Amino acid sequence: MALRCERLPQDPAVPAEHSSRDSLSAEAKESLGGRETSGDPPAPFLDGQRYYEQVVAYCCRRWKSKSKCEAQSTLGMLYSMPILKDLNKAFFWHSEACNNGNLESQGALGIMYLYGQGTGQNTTAALEHLRKAAELGNIYAQGHLVEYYYSRKFYSKAAALAKRATENDDIDMLAKITDCHPTSVAKGAAMAAFYLARCLQLGRGTEKDQHASEKYYSKRIGSGEEHKLRYYDNLATIPSYGIEEVHWD
């Protein structure tokens, strides 16, 4: 099967300045998958990927800072998806977005440093990014910090942060306030709910409370998770940073 790469336009049609991350992702996926439906699967890597990179470069030149870093963050997420998986590029674009003030990419960098994805493993840098993102309301970062604290037996810290991360059930509102993807917010909240339930069940870092434990376990299940919480980061429908699974205590 011959691979084709069409000439890219000098000034590609870009989304409107107020376009959201969801619309950017949708247009990128359409660009990447257009050829696949016509029986030419490899072509999206040449056409869609390069075209979207050019769109992002165009956005970085023309858009205001907020839109610019959203475009960079979106590209970081796209490079974490199976169809385009290149964690070095994902790390680069999340770094660019983080430097421009993107909260979601701040959390993404923390996770990538924590697990050595797209960069060398660096716990100090990981905690710096995760804590800063968590302080600013990134629920996904809060969920990962809860997991980090729990796995290292800092149960009081894990329970306290998990309570904070699960205070508000309005995922859409939290996503809007923090400008983070709703699915990542839901995942972070579900992750925190699982560990809080575990702490309450076993009396780790907080008093035992079986009734409250069952409530938080049901929150985790109600958010779409089944069995023990595992990340679905390998699915193209949600943000991912190359993390396959959690190791449980």
What tens digit of pLDDT does each residue of 133-188 get? 999 999 999 999 999 999 999 999 999 999 999 999 899 999 999 999 999 999 99
Closest by CA to 87, choosing from 230, 245, 243, 236, is 243
pLDDT, tens digit (0-9, with 9 covering 90-100), for 52-75: 566 556 555 555 556 678 888 988
Least confident of 31-45, 81-95, 198-212, 231-245: 231-245
Cα 133 to Cα 155: distance, rounded to the nearest angstrom: 21
Tokens of 175: 């996503």
Q: Is the pLDDT of residue 88 over 50?
A: yes
Q: How many CB atoms lie within 10 A of CB 167?
A: 10
| 34 confidence band (pLDDT: 50, 70, 90) | low
pLDDT at residue number 54: 63
pLDDT at residue number 247: 40
CB proximity list for 192: less than 8 A, separation 6 or greater: 139, 142, 143, 146, 161, 162, 165, 166
Q: Is the pLDDT of residue 224 over 50?
A: no
Angle at which helix 21-33 crosses helix 65-78, to 10 degrees, equals 40
Closest by CA to 130, choosing from 157, 93, 155, 156, is 157
Per-residue pLDDT, averaged over 123-139, amounts to: 97
CB proximity list for 167: less than 8 A, separation 6 or greater: none
Share of the chain above pLDDT 90, in %: 50
CB proximity list for 202: less than 8 A, separation 6 or greater: 208
pLDDT at residue number 249: 45
Q: Is the pLDDT of residue 38 over 90?
A: no
Closest by CA to 102, choosing from 142, 75, 124, is 75
CB proximity list for 44: less than 8 A, separation 6 or greater: 31, 32, 33, 34, 35, 36, 83
pTM: 0.70
